[in-house]
Structure 1
Amino acid sequence: MKDSRSIADIAVLAHEIAIGVSSDVSQAEWLLLRTETGPREDITWSHYFGLVNERGDSKYPEFTKLIKAMLTLSHSSADAERGFSRSGRILGEDKALMSECVLDARLMVYDTLNLYGGKPERFVITKELLNLAQYRQYEKNIDDLKNSIYIALLTDAVENPLI
């Protein structure tokens, strides 16, 4: 009963994760893989991932891809929840219309301050940092100018059509 359940689970996972892994091939590879004898549990997966066939190709390519995809899945949503909570504290009701760019900048400042123990006086402002900030402002000004010229041209074209 347990064996047929694990085979069915592999088929469901191969289908649901949707990474281009064939459920039939994954099931067949799982049946073969269960006959392998491997080292301790802590290195079992790396052992199986390293097995090769007579041509030197991965012995269980589809199953390896499936297991690696599953192992990258988060076991909890705690990190995401902390991120939402932190964003909510920075955003607040009075700043609900804040743009994503501004929110990202505020989160970056918050994270950087935490790296320096919450003490801004520990943060060293170098000449390179000032140059980077100045250049970023220059790029923003150029983009704003391009956008305003583009809008002016569109407005002029609408108000004064050639036809």
Structure 2
Amino acid sequence: RELLRLLPLGNDFLRHLQFMHPLIRQQESARTSLMIVARDLPQMLSGNDIDELHAEWRMYENENIPDEWYEQVNVTSESPQTTRYYSVDHYWKHVLSIKNSSGNVKFVVLGKLVKSLLSLSHGNSDIESDLSENEMFVTDDRSSLNIATINGLRATKEGVRFYGAGKVHEVPVSKALVDSIDLAYTRYSTDQEKTQKIIKDKEALNASVQLLKENELRLAENEQKLIDEQKSLQNELDNASKMLDEANYRLQAAITAKNFGDIKTAHLLIESVSKKMGFLRTQLRRNSDYLSEIRKKLRYE
């Protein structure tokens, strides 16, 4: 699975390189792949070269190629005969050494193409070279390693290498160079100002968000306190309501018994409980109003 992820198996150019395989040289697909690869390299082959390449491939298809050029047969007493194949460059070394009746190389354009393709790099040396060069830019002061900084350092180094043969003091100083330096400093200052503004705006935004969270937390705590207080007030109101019912019952019993002492006591109890219930209802209404305000703030924030 890792090889499927890393290897360029979907690269059409690499897939068409199979035309160099000795076992498919007489197949139509090999000739098609050859022409596709040749046309993908216009910097190497001209139109006349492609025509000549097509003719040479026809001769190559009809060439009598011995099996020994690409097969190696091993016969041992311990195992039966096994066939192994030489590497593709070993095979083409023999093919490209074929000469015509005049003693000249028979496959000129084909040899040029095959040698170029066999010399294609299939490693990661370019990447390793770039990484090594980028590593040199990391100083004790820890230069910024963002893309813009690396590109700027690489461009400066390449400029010194091109104009001054790698020596800074050999770079010719011109008015255009001085103007470019001034412009670079101006752009650097502008970028720094923009960066600082972005940082300050971000800090202000974070502070606002933090303040908003603190306000929400405080409102949520106040809401919970009011809810708890409302439950307590409601319990007291329920108890007062029960006491009022009991006082009314006592009053009716005292009236029936014509007990004026109990009647007076019942009246006092009813009056006291009624006042308390009025106070509790007022507190509950005020508590409900506060809760509504807090929930409205939480909803809008």
Query: Structure 2 length as normaliser, TM-score?
Result: 0.32
Paired letter, 1:30? W
Rounded to whole Å, the distance in 1 between the matches of 2:125 and 2:94 is 30
Paired letter, 1:47? H
The residue that corresponds to 1:14 in the other structure is 38
Describe how 1:5-84 pairs up with structure 2 within 5 A: 5-18=29-42, 19-20=44-45, 22-34=49-61, 35-38=63-66, 39-40=69-70, 41-42=86-87, 43-76=90-123, 78-84=124-130
Rounded to whole Å, the distance in 2 between the matches of 1:140 and 1:102 is 9
Describe how 1:70-149 pairs up with structure 2 within 5 A: 70-76=117-123, 78-92=124-138, 94=143, 96=149, 97-98=152-153, 99-100=156-157, 143=170, 147=172
Regions of 4+ moved over 2 Å: 20-25, 40-43, 95-99, 101-104
Rounded to whole Å, the distance in 1 between the matches of 2:143 and 2:160 is 13
Cα deviation digits, residues 80-115 of structure 1 (max 9, x gap):
1111222222224727444316998xxxxxxxxxxx
Report if the CA contact (8 A) 1:87-1:103 is conserved.
Answer: no
Larger Rg: 2
Report if the CA contact (8 A) 1:12-1:23 is conserved.
Answer: no
Residues 100 and 70 of structure 1, relative CA distance in 2, 3 Å threshold:
same
Report if the CA contact (8 A) 2:100-2:106 is conserved.
Answer: yes
- Give the structure, 1 or 2, with the largest relative contact order (CA under 8 Å, sep 6 or more): 1
Cα deviation digits, residues 39-96 of structure 1 (max 9, x gap):
23342211111111112221011111110111111124x1111112222222247274
Rounded to whole Å, the distance in 1 between the matches of 2:50 and 2:30 is 13
Q: Which range moved further: 52-61 or 86-95?
A: 86-95
Rounded to whole Å, the distance in 2 between the matches of 1:53 and 1:36 is 13
Rounded to whole Å, the distance in 2 between the matches of 1:36 and 1:23 is 23
Q: Give the aligned length.
A: 112
CA RMSD of aligned residues (A): 3.2
Residues 84 and 29 of structure 1, relative CA distance in 2, 3 Å threshold:
same
Report if the CA contact (8 A) 2:160-2:168 is conserved.
Answer: no
Can you give the 5+ residue segments of structure 2 that lack an aligned partner in the other structure?
1-23, 71-85, 176-301
Cα deviation digits, residues 128-155 of structure 1 (max 9, x gap):
xxxxxxxx9xx986x57xx56x87xxxx
Residues 29 and 102 of structure 1, relative CA distance in 2, 3 Å threshold:
closer
Report if the CA contact (8 A) 1:10-1:26 is conserved.
Answer: no
Paired letter, 1:100? K
